[in-house]
Amino acid sequence: MDHVISGVAKFQREVFPGKKATFKRLANSQNPEVLFITCSDSRIDPNLVTQTEPGDLFICRNAGNIVPPHSNQTGGMTASIEFAVAALGVRHIIICGHTDCGAMKGALAPEKLSGLPHVKEWLGHCRCATEVIREKHGEVGAEHLDEVTRENVLQQLQHLRTHPSVAAKLATGQVELHGWVYDIGTGLIHCFDSQQGEFIAMEQAYAESQLMASGQE
In a domain, residue 142? The reply is yes
In a domain, residue 208? The reply is yes
Structural domains in the chain (count): 1
The predicted model scores a pTM of: 0.92
pLDDT at 206: 72
In a domain, residue 88? The reply is yes
In a domain, residue 133? The reply is yes
Per cent of the chain over pLDDT 70 is 94
pLDDT at 148: 98
Are the CB atoms for 159 and 81 separated by under 8 Å? no
Per-residue CA distances from 131 to 147, 157, 164, 199 (Å): 11, 16, 26, 19
69-113 pLDDT, tens digit per residue, is 999 888 899 999 999 999 999 999 999 999 999 999 999 999 999
pLDDT at 209: 67
In a domain, residue 159? The reply is yes
In a domain, residue 157? The reply is yes
- Give me the domain span that covers residue 160: 33-216
Amino acid (1-letter code) at residue 198: E
pLDDT at 203: 83
pLDDT at 211: 62
Per cent of the chain over pLDDT 90 is 89
Q: What is the mean pLDDT of the chain?
A: 94
CATH of the domain at 74: 3.40.1050.10
> CA 44 to CA 176: how far, in whole Å?
23
In a domain, residue 17? The reply is no
In a domain, residue 23? The reply is no
pLDDT at 73: 84
